[in-house]
Amino acid sequence: MSEVLFQRVALIGLGLEGSSLARVMKRDGMAGHIAGCARTRATRDKAMELGFVDSVHEDVADAVADADLVVLCTPVSTFGDLAARFAPVLKPGSVVTDVGSVKMAVIRDVGPLLPAGVHFVPGHPVAGTEHSGPESGFPELFEHRYCILTPPPGTDRDMVAKVAEFWRRAGSMVEFMDAHHHDRVLAITSHLPHLIAYSIVGTAADLESQLRREAVENGDVVETREVIKYSAGGFRDFTRIAGSDPVMWRDVFLNNREAVLEMLGRFVEDLTALQRAIRWGEGETLEDLFRRTREVRRGVVEMGQAGRFIATEAEDSGETES
């Protein structure tokens, strides 16, 4: 039981992130009162039943009233509307933060709506799973994970320190970054990998349908789900990523458009060079790249071993090919 950092905390959105945050706050006594806000009755009922909040609210203004800390845990496209609705009731001296995967758009959408005297410390815990909903949360979600804070220039330093302390108590390693830089770095480490995974899983599903149709037409034995069946060869890792929350990820791409398109452009250039190397049988080009990427993998594993992050057994078991 740690000292209460914020007396009353309002969690807007009780899915994976919101309910995980509620759980760790409950477990460690990080808040005096946790007010949860969810759009659907089902989620509110589930939250009360699971007991990770002290009160639930349909109206965001009710949840936020008198809160010392407000955490936005819904898809980022909703932030602007939500902020417009709760801004009038924000308590002077309170702080608003969020868990959105993009930061420039959040600063653009939320920042101007907050009244003077209310602090704003945008954040991004780099943690998640493919699951969503209030049942999917767990208190260890943020443990040993980076949480990146991107306070705009001029933000009150004490309040930034307090939000940082809050995330450290939740188990995270806190880093500070400029919002624009955050969006570029995450575009390559997270957004582009997700986009590619979504894309190839779609391509494969279409191909599977086509193979099935062809088999029927030819009178062959129809293997119904061949792509899934042989997914252990690498594809399965992509399906896990492509199983992530559709609305959250739609919003990430729409709200980090420039950086995602830039990284996508770089990726397609490099992929096209590889395509050419395959077409022309340039084995050396391929092997050189594959040796270089193997070194990057070593770096990831070493950083894991060095304790900079804790790789779960899950992530580093090495089941991949062939």
Site residues (CB under 8 A) for a second copy, limited to 126-165: 126-131, 145-146, 148
Residue of the chain from 150, 300, 305, 307 that contacts a second copy (CB under 8 A): 300
DSSP code of 91?
P
Quote the least distance from Cβ 256 to a second copy, whole Å: 9
Q: What are phi and psi of 125, to 5 degrees?
A: -75, 120
Which one of 2-10, 41-49, 161-169, 249-257 is the stretch in contact with a second copy (CB under 8 A)?
Answer: 249-257
**Position 117 contacts a second copy (CB under 8 A):** no
Residue of the chain from 183, 237, 305, 307 that contacts a second copy (CB under 8 A): 237
Quote the least distance from Cβ 263 to a second copy, whole Å: 7
Residue of the chain from 168, 209, 240, 305 that contacts a second copy (CB under 8 A): 240
Q: What are phi and psi of 56, to 5 degrees?
A: -125, 150
d(CA 33, CA 68): 10
Quote the least distance from Cβ 58 to a second copy, whole Å: 24
Using CB atoms within 10 Å of the CB of residue 142, give its burial: 0 to 12 exposed, 13 to 18 middle, 19+ buried: buried
**Position 290 contacts a second copy (CB under 8 A):** yes
Quote the least distance from Cβ 130 to a second copy, whole Å: 4
Which amino acid, residue 189? T
Bridge partners, residue 31, by sequence? 6
User: Which CB, 55 or 190, lies closer to a second copy?
Assistant: 190
Residue of the chain from 2, 27, 268, 305 that contacts a second copy (CB under 8 A): 268
Residue of the chain from 32, 88, 206, 213 that contacts a second copy (CB under 8 A): 206
Region 209-228 residues binding a second copy, contact defined as CB under 8 A = 211, 225-228
Region 5-24 residues binding a second copy, contact defined as CB under 8 A = 17
User: Which CB, 52 or 253, lies closer to a second copy?
Assistant: 253
For Cα atoms 234, 236, 237, give the angle at the middle one, nearest 5 degrees: 75
Region 37-96 residues binding a second copy, contact defined as CB under 8 A = 77
Q: CB atoms < 10 A from the CB of 260, how many?
A: 23
Helix (H, G, I), strand (E, B) or coil at 214: helix
**Position 291 contacts a second copy (CB under 8 A):** yes
- State both tokens at 147: 């949480």
Residue of the chain from 50, 65, 89, 289 that contacts a second copy (CB under 8 A): 289
139 touches 146 (CB < 8 A) = no
Quote the least distance from Cβ 193 to a second copy, whole Å: 4
Nearest to 179 by CA among 236, 253, 259: 259
Return the H-helix or E-strand segment holding 173: strand 173-176
DSSP code of 170?
T
